[in-house]
Structure 1
Amino acid sequence: MLFKRMLLCCVMLSTTFIPAQAKSNFELPDLGTSALQALPLEKERAIGEVMMMQVRGTSPVVDDPVLNEYLSTLGNTLVSHANDVRFPFSFFLINNPEINAFAFYGGHVGVHTGLIAQADNESQLASVIGHEIAHVTQRHLARRLQQQQDNSGLTIAGMIAGLLATLVSPDAGLAIISGTQTQSALSQLTHSRGAEQEADRIGMRTLYDAGFDPKESGEFLTKLSAQLRYKQKPPVFLLTHPLPQSRVSDVRLRAQQYESRQYTDSLSFQLAKARIIARYGSDSEHAENEFRKLLKHNSFGDTSALRYGLALTLIDQKKYKEAKPLLDDLLDASPDNLFYLDTLTDYYVGLGQPQKAVEYLAPFHQLRPNNQVVTLNYAHAAIEAKQYDLAKDLLRSFALEKPDHFLAKQLLTDTYKQQDDKAAYHEANADLMAQVGAYMKAADEVQKALNFIEPDEAIKQKRLKALLAQYRAMQKELARM
């Protein structure tokens, strides 16, 4: 489905980069007991949730199940090989062409679409994510908070706001901070050299343990360093991740301590990159021309990702007859590929034949009932086919497994609206408002839902009144933070 249309504005943070494991006797890092004293883990998680609400409410978060599935799989593969993991991680995409990634309290890691589009290979992308994971596991933000707690010129709330603004959009955020706050506040927005070195070292260990090529972490930094020579302003990533030449040399030397290995990019990485170029980069016509040029000069080897990208651009331009043969060939080669299934749904919905997508996806849903790509495409096709009860059942069941999935909530809200179930629609809409921290608007939506409850529906009235009180209390609690 064309999830590009469903981008939600959000605000985020940015952090650092890097990799995986070594073969000998690296010293274990300081696990940050002082940071634990300054910011208990439960409070860190709570602050992280609030920050994620603000991100989702103010920045272009990409609600694309296929890309989210790929990023989460890659991120959690790295997490599974990291040490000192204290809570589950979550990974999300921001629609921004700049090379950037960041992490903040509670294990939230954001990646710009530009990082995937411009990464030369999957090991480079993994090195950046591994580096961000290390910032979280070593609690660098929590340590920084402790270092500033005696600075009367900064409040925790003010610092968090500055971190959010600058980590998500460093070039804009730094301009705001430098014009309105002290140099002390500005210093909060970049990691120290020591923190960067620690994240480089620990990240590289994680990268290696997860099976990626550690030398690509150095190649990525070299690539960024080279960009400094040709741009008037540095790449966005470097505004919050200092890059002295010594750091590049240190990372390259550290990579040499690991056993040399060759890593072949996964097809999923190649497809994710093609999808971002097709849908989140330039306009579809320009992207089509680029894919055609690449296919012309890459007649040997696997061209699946290029053909997939071309098919996407054709569908987005409503050139369905040209797209179908490409899509058929891809599905013949890999009939259960999630990227292709998602695009087939786009094809049938675009043609005005959503019922065919419903019929095609039904058996895949039986095999993978909790997979977000299959379920959300299936539900989307059902909505387009006016099979609202089917869509509602699919989304309610999915919510039991993933209760905070934002796109699933959007689709369920749309289903209630199409059914003209006003009470359910306003309650579901309140849930969406609450997920971006708009508790007063959520309370207003619950009040509207109460207006459509019949007098004899006492249980529903009681439940909604309790929810109304909860949202109002949460608004007060949020104001205190």
Structure 2
Amino acid sequence: MKPIYMIVCALFLSPLALADGLPELGDSSATVLSPLQEQKIADQIMRQVMASDDVVSDAEVNDYVQNLGYRLASHGPDPHQQFNFFVVKDNTINAFAMPGGVVGVHTGLIIAADTESEVAGVLGHEIGHVVQHHLARMLAQQKIDSVVSMATMALALLAAVGNPQLGGGAMMTASANAIQKQLDYTRDHEREADRVGLQIMTDSGFDPHGMPAFFEVLQKGTRFVQGTAPSFLRTHPLTTERITDVRGRVEQMSSFKLVEDSQEFYYVRAKLLADLGTPTQAVDSFRNNLQEKKYTNEAGQHYGLAIALMRKRDFTGAAKELDWLKMNAPVHAMIANLAANIAVAQNKPEQAEKAFITGLAIFPNHRALIYGYAEHLLALNQVDNALKLISDKQSSFPDDPYFYELISKAYTMQGKVLLRHQAQGEAYVRRYHIPKAIEQMDLAAKATDGDFYQHSIVEARLSQLRQLVDDPKKPK
């Protein structure tokens, strides 16, 4: 991920920083930041997130976390609150919430969780921080009254609440450090987020015991040694009293409907574990777990071993694990995608084609299968078939930038300049990068190919995007 200070610089050198109507942060009202201001901040953060190499791009991991987050948020107290969930490639145990409903989850947190309810408990907690506007309350208490000091506050806020290791470097001044110490969530904030999160996860069908169970794991792992605590605990103070309070709330619940951990949880967790260490170390770890029966979910271990063997380029071994999964595990989209990827890796295009078609027939909206099949078709120079596939599926994912990037690649292969730049421009819109979108649309407008109708569409979109820069309140 890009350093946090770059996020802040982008934020406060943008039109947002110069906008009228900045909140009077000395006012202790509950809504210090207006919804529009929060959304502006969220858009700037997401622009950095989408451009970062340290954010997980794997469609299956992202879809799992996003679907889990949206499921929880749908049972929250504010149905109008928008959320963006993403996963950070970081083995530390952490999750964090930002203004505008931006919620990040470290891969280390998913790996450390034994059950899906433990992950749901942390996500529910972060959603609780968002819907209770805790960051806005902290900003109010600082009584910031200038753009410069507000920028310093945001630097400290993002460094403290986001990823401490990515914080401001040389730009993290003594003033920012002093403010950062005041930005950690208070015990009252934590209790409130626990209460809201507990209700959210219970209403969503998860085991509420997962929240205190994971907190206990975190507490036991810290040993209270300075500098060794999980990142989550540096901004989320955890005490024995707090864990006891959460356990007490759980015990007072008269009844709750529980849903078993999804198989997807075990596959995603195994997929992340398979990416740790060297390929040989990952393979040995899964084989050892299977041999000694050190697992909660056997299918998850075989799936992880297959992914690790793919990393090791042992495609024959991966195919053997796939055979076990087909014989012993329920039909699942991630297994279907694994089958297609193994066939592609083995350079068996006909087998891969069959695997993609079979998988999409059962799981028509599995994003990884759609991506993979489109890439496979483009690799075979079947450009028209790739474009038809994307056209058929795109309506289900209107905000997905990668669909537009695939379209742009296809039109590049066909030598269609206007359509290539138009598609790339739409991709940048969905990556929250309006200036680059305008640049691409301008190139499309200047293209010498394309008919009158296509040029009219591009000109209209270009005008709309330029107005968006002038008036960010306009819809994208």
* TM-score for the superposition, normalised by structure 1: 0.83
Q: By how many angstroms is 1:306 displaced? A: 0.6
Distance 1:176 1:211, change over 3 A: farther
Q: Secondary structure at the match of 2:284?
A: helix
Partner-residue secondary structure (3-state), 2:167 = helix
| Equivalent position to 1:79, from 40, 62, 73 | 73
1:167 partnered with 2:126: no
Match of 2:334 among 335, 339, 342: 339
CA contact (8 A) 1:355 1:385 kept: no
Please name the residue that 1:143 is paired with: 137
For 1:197 and 1:442, locate their aligned partners in 2 and report how far apart those are by CA, in whole Å. Answer: 43
Write the letter of the residue equivalent to 1:308. Answer: Y
Stretch of structure 1 that moved more, 468-477 or 90-99: 468-477
Per-residue CA distance 1:2-60 (angstroms, 9 max, x = gap): xxxxxx879699xxxxxxxxxxxxxxxxxxx9333x33334433432232122222352
Q: Secondary structure at the residue paired with 2:103?
A: strand
Q: CA deviation at 1:126?
A: 1.0
Partner residue in 2 for 1:396: 391
Q: Distance in 2 between matches of 1:446 and 1:162?
A: 36
* Shift, 1:67, TM fit: 1.6
Provide the rounded CA distance (Å) in 1 between the counterparts of 2:295 and 2:171: 51
Residue of structure 2 aligned with 1:115, choices 106, 109, 115: 109
Secondary structure of the structure 2 residue equivalent to 1:256: helix
Tell me the residue number matched to 2:93: 99
1:469 CA displacement: 4.3
Distance 1:232 1:40, change over 3 A: closer
Amino acid in the other structure paired with 2:351: K
Residue 219 (structure 1) aligned to one of 213, 216, 222: 213
Aligned to 2:84: 90
Measure how far apart 1:202 and its partner are.
1.4
Residues in 2 aligned to 1:344 and 1:48: alpha-carbon distance in whole angstroms = 37
Question: How far apart, CA to CA, are the structure 1 residues paired with 2:285 and 2:425?
Answer: 43
Map 1:240-389; keep pairs closer than 5 Å: 240-258=235-253, 264-279=260-275, 281-298=276-293, 302-334=297-329, 336-389=331-384
Q: Give, in whole Å, the separation in 1 of the partners of 2:296 and 2:195.
A: 35
Q: Shift of the alpha carbon at 1:254?
A: 3.0
* Distance in 2 of aligned mates of 1:53 and 1:259: 44
What 5-or-longer segments of structure 2 have no aligned partner?
Answer: 8-27
User: Conserved in 1, the CA contact under 8 Å of 2:155 and 2:168?
Assistant: no
The aligned residue for residue 128 of structure 2 is 134
The one-letter code matched in structure 2 to 1:77 is R
- Equivalent position to 1:425, from 405, 420, 423: 420
Relative to structure 1, the CA distance from residue 461 to residue 105 in structure 2 (aligned partners, 3 Å threshold; closer, same or farther) is same
Q: How many residue pairs are counted as aligned between the two chains?
A: 450
Q: Deviations over 1:387-442 (max 9, x none)?
A: 22122122233332222113323333333333333332223223333444443333
Report the 3-state secondary structure (helix = DSSP H, G, I; strand = E; otherwise coil) of the residue aligned with 1:34.
coil
Equivalent AA in structure 2 for residue 348 of structure 1? A
Aligned residue for 2:86, secondary structure, equals strand
Gap change, CA 1:420 and 1:149, over 3 Å in 2:
farther
Larger displacement relative to structure 2 (128-137 or 353-362): 353-362
Separation in 2 of the partners of 1:158 and 1:428?
Answer: 37
Shift of 1:166: 3.8
Q: Deviations over 1:186-232 (max 9, x none)?
A: 14642222111100111112222323232332222222222322754
Cα shift at 1:136: 1.5
User: Per the alignment, do residues 346 and 367 of structure 1 end up closer, same or farther by CA in structure 2, a change over 3 Å counting?
Assistant: closer
Q: Whole-Å Cα distance in 1 between the matches of residues 176 and 97 of structure 2?
A: 23
Measured against aligned partners, the alpha-carbon deviations of 1:146-180 in whole angstroms (never above 9, x if no partner) come to: 43454448554554454334433123427667535
- Counterpart CA distance in 2 for 1:339 and 1:161 is 39
Q: CA deviation at 1:259?
A: 5.1
* 1:22 alignment counterpart: none
- CA 1:182–1:102 in structure 2 vs 1: closer, same or farther (change >3 Å)? closer
Task: Give the equivalent residue in structure 2 for 1:30.
Answer: none
Q: Deviation string for 1:56-86 (max 9, x for gaps)?
A: 2235221222222222332233223322332
Check 1:427–1:165 CA distance in 2 against 1; reply closer, same or farther (3 A cut).
farther
Within 1, Cα distance between the matches of 2:347 and 2:145?
61
Q: Deviations over 1:240-282 (max 9, x none)?
A: 2122443233333333323588875332211111011113x22
* Equivalent residues in 2 for 1:403-442, closer than 5 Å: 403-442=398-437
Q: Which amino acid aligns with 1:129?
A: L
* Residues 50 and 431, structure 2, Cα contact 8 Å, conserved in 1: yes
- AA paired with 1:45? Q
| Structure 1 unpaired stretches of 5+ | 1-7, 14-32
Q: Compared with structure 1, are the counterparts of its residues 370 and 213 closer, same or farther at alpha carbon in structure 2 (3 Å cutoff)? A: closer
Task: Rate the CA distance shift 1:230–1:263 in 2: closer, same or farther, 3 A.
Answer: farther
CA contact (8 A) 1:379 1:394 kept: yes
The residue type equivalent to 1:111 in the other structure is V
Residues in 1 aligned to 2:381 and 2:3: alpha-carbon distance in whole angstroms: 31
| Closer/same/farther in 2, CA of residues 354 and 50 from structure 1, 3 Å limit | farther
What percent identity do the matched residue pairs reach? 32
Task: Determine the C-alpha separation between the residues in 2 that align with 1:115 and 1:178.
Answer: 27
Question: Hey, what does 2:17 align to over in structure 1?
Answer: none
Q: Following TM superposition, by how much is the alpha carbon of 1:299 offset from its aligned partner in structure 2, in angstroms? A: 8.0
* Aligned equivalents of 1:387, 1:336: Cα separation in 2: 29
Q: Contact (CA 8 Å) 1:45, 1:105: kept in 2 or not?
A: yes
Distance 1:206 1:134, change over 3 A: same
1:184-195 equivalences in 2 (<5 Å) = 185-187=179-181, 189-195=183-189
* 1:236 partnered with 2:231: yes
TM-score (norm 2): 0.83
Structure 2: distance between partners of 1:301 and 1:39: 45
1:290 alignment partner AA: S
Higher relative contact order (CA 8 A, sep 6+): 1
User: Structure 1 residues 457-466 or 236-245, which shifts more?
Assistant: 457-466
